[in-house]
Amino acid sequence: MSYHLPGAMFLLSLAVLAQDKTKNPALHVAFVGDLQSERGADFVGFLRSQFPRVDGVERSTCTPDQLRTADVVVLDWPQDQGVMLWQQDGQKPRQQPLGELSRWDRPTVLLGSAGLNLAAAWNLPGTNG
């Protein structure tokens, strides 16, 4: 592949590739993660550039009550704040940002290891990986 493109053509290709937010459904999204981190800020900023309403919710204090009206919840939860802690102390109370499985009714995207943590917490398939 050649990278020797004229400037105008390069800009045009960027415009074609960039996400067009008008194509996204008008969703109310709740992002649950570490809001103080660069990673959390990156997610909130990106989601706010794409959807009309994005709530940032701190994972360490999150309860399902805060998420009940969102169309989609996006959960970011690293392994060292989930299964790795629980492996160290199996009996320690576990803070689960989404509460009980039977009462979790929001469509949810589990980013990276959030899927492992949640599957482990709720005894769902997905912990063999």
Which pair of structure tokens corresponds to residue 40?
């959390």
Please pick, from the candidates 8, 9, 18, 61, the single residue that binds another protein as defined by CB under 8 A.
18
Residues 57-76 interacting with another protein (rule: CB under 8 A): 64-66, 68-69, 71-72, 74
Check residue 54 and report its DSSP letter.
E
Is 36 one of the binding residues for another protein (CB under 8 A)? no
Q: Nearest-CA neighbor of 81 among 56, 61, 105?
A: 61
Is 30 one of the binding residues for another protein (CB under 8 A)? no
Maximum C-alpha span of the chain: 62
At its nearest, how many Å lie between another protein and the CB of residue 16? 9
Distance CA 36, CA 58 (A): 8
Which secondary structure element, helix H or strand E, spans residue 12, and what is its range? helix 7-17
Q: Nearest-CA neighbor of 45 among 34, 33, 56, 57?
A: 56
At its nearest, how many Å lie between another protein and the CB of residue 19? 5
At its nearest, how many Å lie between another protein and the CB of residue 61? 15
Is 112 one of the binding residues for another protein (CB under 8 A)? yes
Distance CA 113, CA 71 (A): 22
**Which residues make up the interface to another protein (CB under 8 A)?**
17-20, 23-29, 39, 42-43, 45-47, 50-51, 53, 64-66, 68-69, 71-72, 74, 79, 83, 86-87, 90-91, 101-113, 115-116, 118-129
